[in-house]
Amino acid sequence: MVTVSQIVKRMIDSRPMIQEALIEGIVSFGNLAEKLKKEIEFELGEPVQKSAVMMAIRRYAEHLEKKTFRKIPFKPYPEIVMKTNLCDICIVKTPSALEKIRKIHKIVNYERGDTLNIIQGNYEITVVISQKYLSELKEIMENEKILNIEKNLVSLTLSLTEEFFYTPGGISIATRKLSWENINIFEIISTMTELIYIIGEKDAVRAYSIFSQMIREYSE
């Protein structure tokens, strides 16, 4: 038989904003219980005490807090590298597209700080590149199927210690910060000590400020 606690957990897990608010400790258990009570009663087919819903919320909130890193074991360096004027191109992965990818490396001037990130999925290839190379990239990928092009993007790179690579939930810490502020993430690229977010140019200033605050919090 399904319990109130099980339903509450499922409902909270399906609402990321509520889950994040519980982790941050800014939710009234009473108000949230009142909001969820009717939906729980409908699913159970019987009346439910508000106090029972509140208790279930409180217990799950405590569980979330224990699982959430308040003080992470890796240290972020006090530097955020921002690169502007980027674009994101998604291409169907084919043997010919993989062969053409090699040519892209030759057109990018890394010495001038230009950007090139190539991400391969099972069926698609994503290229994040300085926007000035978009026309050349299209020429190189002629006859390949381009699924989508996003322009006017920015990359924000966080430099981290090696412990980041071995820390469960490390990426989610920064991701939640952006999600909480309703900032869309186009790509997440990570190496052992670098975490790169590709976002829209319109969100760059807010995201930079969010990451700066996060670095201050976790460096204390």
Question: Average pLDDT of 7-22?
Answer: 85
On average, the pLDDT of the chain sits at: 88
Contact predicate 136/206, CB 8 Å: no
How far is Cα 14 from Cα 209, in angstroms, rounded to an integer? 28
How far is Cα 88 from Cα 14, in angstroms, rounded to an integer? 29
Question: Average pLDDT of 22-36?
Answer: 88
- Has residue 72 got a pLDDT over 60? no
Q: Quick one: pLDDT at residue 218? A: 67
CATH architecture of 76-219: 2-Layer Sandwich (3.30)
Question: Average pLDDT of 176-191?
Answer: 90
101-151 pLDDT per residue, tens: 999 999 999 889 999 999 999 999 999 999 999 999 999 999 999 999 999
Which range is least confidently modeled, 12-26, 89-103, 181-195?
12-26
Q: H/E element holding 85?
A: strand 76-92
| Token pair belonging to 107 | 């057109």
Nearest to 171 by CA among 182, 186, 153, 158: 158
- pLDDT band at residue 64 using 50, 70 and 90 as cut-offs: confident
Question: Average pLDDT of 148-164?
Answer: 91
How far does Cα 136 stand from its chain's mean position?
Answer: 30
Phi, psi angles (nearest 5°) of residue 39: -65, -40
Q: So where are the chain's domains?
A: 4-67, 76-219
- pLDDT band at residue 49 using 50, 70 and 90 as cut-offs: very high
Q: Quick one: pLDDT at residue 157? A: 95
73-107 pLDDT per residue, tens: 556 667 899 999 999 999 999 999 999 999 999 99
112, 215, 195, 175 alpha-carbon torsion, rounded to 10°:
-130
Q: Quick one: pLDDT at residue 91? A: 97
